[in-house]
Amino acid sequence: MASQPDANTYTFNVSVDSFQIQPGTYLLTKVGKNNSLDKKTKRSVGLDEFVAPKSSLAEIFLRHEPLAEVSAGKPFTIIAEIVGIDTGNVTLQISRVGGGGPGGLRNIPMIRKTASDYIAEVPTDMVTAGELNYRIIVQKGNEFAIFPGNYKGNPFAWDNYYNETWKTFVAAENGRLEIFNPTLDRTARIYPGFRRGFQSTYFTSEKPGQLILRVSSTELTGDHIIGFQYFFGDKLQGRVGEADSFNMLMIRARTAETQPVKAKITLTNTDAISVSSFITLTYSRFCIADAQTISWFSAAKI
């Protein structure tokens, strides 16, 4: 057990081989032992020579990235980073879209694992094909903060109208895993970054609400390439348990040229090991271009 000077009294117990502290001067004592030394006893640093200033952080901050999709029938963990709460309760409030099906609305306590990390496990009976909506409620005494949005107010009050939530899709059994969708994914690195006659754009086509990534060049002479690179490791996090069962890569692509165009697909893992294959793109009357064009939509299928 350790304690700070009178102006910064703080005590705690060691758990296994770790403990959490705050700024201050500490006296470490063995369990069962009392230390009656005067705080002013001369040492290299006296116990009263440092007083930690009172924390000026009163606001609660929360950071959370929801999983885009998880596997059905398997529990998964929701993690949030929260600062500004030394004491109080953190609750995960989660439900299925429509409120029906197994589980209904459920409040799950979030457990503090580190100084700022809180976790909660969503049980198997709630993880069925569909969509899960959830929010995180932080309570300090009679004060509440509701995330997303950091809304202040009692979420259980009859006149509470705040209903913003995060969402996570639960994949159907044998469902595909979408790894790139140009309507949603805008972090693709397109090559070349600059070249005469080269263009890249997102445009709509015959399918409503769907964007297509188009890259084109007026000429591809020499050893030049056009294409893009995209990281989709975050989309695998919620379905990593199914990784070995995905055995097909489905690609939707086309060219505006009347002659077929060959494209190379490469997958690279975290160890920089790559596998690749070539596909042939054929002409489509829906392409609005007279240059070399590749429009991309890809997904993985079991």
- Residue closest to 70 by CA, chosen among 112, 14, 160, 132: 132
Give pLDDT, residue 168.
95
Mean pLDDT of 200-223: 79
Q: How far apart are CA 201 and CA 213, in angstroms?
A: 6
Residue 284: pLDDT band by 50, 70, 90 thresholds?
low
Q: How far apart are CA 294 and CA 14, in angstroms?
A: 60
Cβ atoms of 296 and 212 closer than 8 Å: yes
Task: Please check the confidence at residue 296 and state whether its pLDDT lies above 50.
Answer: no
- The sign of the CA dihedral 209, 213, 219, 220 is negative
- Residue closest to 240 by CA, chosen among 264, 266, 270, 276: 270
- Residue closest to 72 by CA, chosen among 93, 107, 103: 103
Give pLDDT, residue 39.
54
Cβ atoms of 263 and 281 closer than 8 Å: yes
Mean pLDDT of 281-291: 51
Mean pLDDT of 56-84: 89
Which has the minimum average pLDDT: 135-149, 258-272, 284-298?
Answer: 284-298
Q: How many residues does the chain have?
A: 302
Q: Which carries the bigger pLDDT value, residue 302 or residue 243?
A: 243
Task: Please check the confidence at residue 241 and state whether its pLDDT lies above 60.
Answer: yes
Give pLDDT, residue 132.
95
> From the CB of residue 235, how many other CB atoms can be counted at a distance below 10 Å?
18
Give pLDDT, residue 117.
93
- Give the pLDDT confidence of 78-131 residue by residue, as tens digits: 999 998 887 789 999 999 887 655 557 899 999 999 888 999 999 999 999 999
Averaged pLDDT score across all residues of the chain: 79
Query: Burial of 24 by CB count in 10 Å (0-12 exposed, 13-18 middle, 19+ buried)?
Result: middle
- Give the pLDDT confidence of 164-190 residue by residue, as tens digits: 999 999 998 888 888 888 888 888 888
Give pLDDT, residue 169.
94
Task: Please check the confidence at residue 145 and state whether its pLDDT lies above 80.
Answer: yes
Give pLDDT, residue 62.
93
- Give me the percent of the chain exceeding a pLDDT of 90: 24
Give pLDDT, residue 50.
65
> From the CB of residue 243, how many other CB atoms can be counted at a distance below 10 Å?
10
Residue 42: pLDDT band by 50, 70, 90 thresholds?
low
Give pLDDT, residue 1.
38
Looking at 26-121, list the stretches that DSSP marks H as alpha helix, in order from N- to C-terminal side.
Answer: none
Which has the minimum average pLDDT: 23-37, 62-76, 100-114?
Answer: 23-37
Which range in 36-40, 74-78, 81-85 is most confidently predicted, on average pLDDT?
74-78
Task: Please check the confidence at residue 4 and state whether its pLDDT lies above 80.
Answer: no
Cβ atoms of 95 and 103 closer than 8 Å: yes
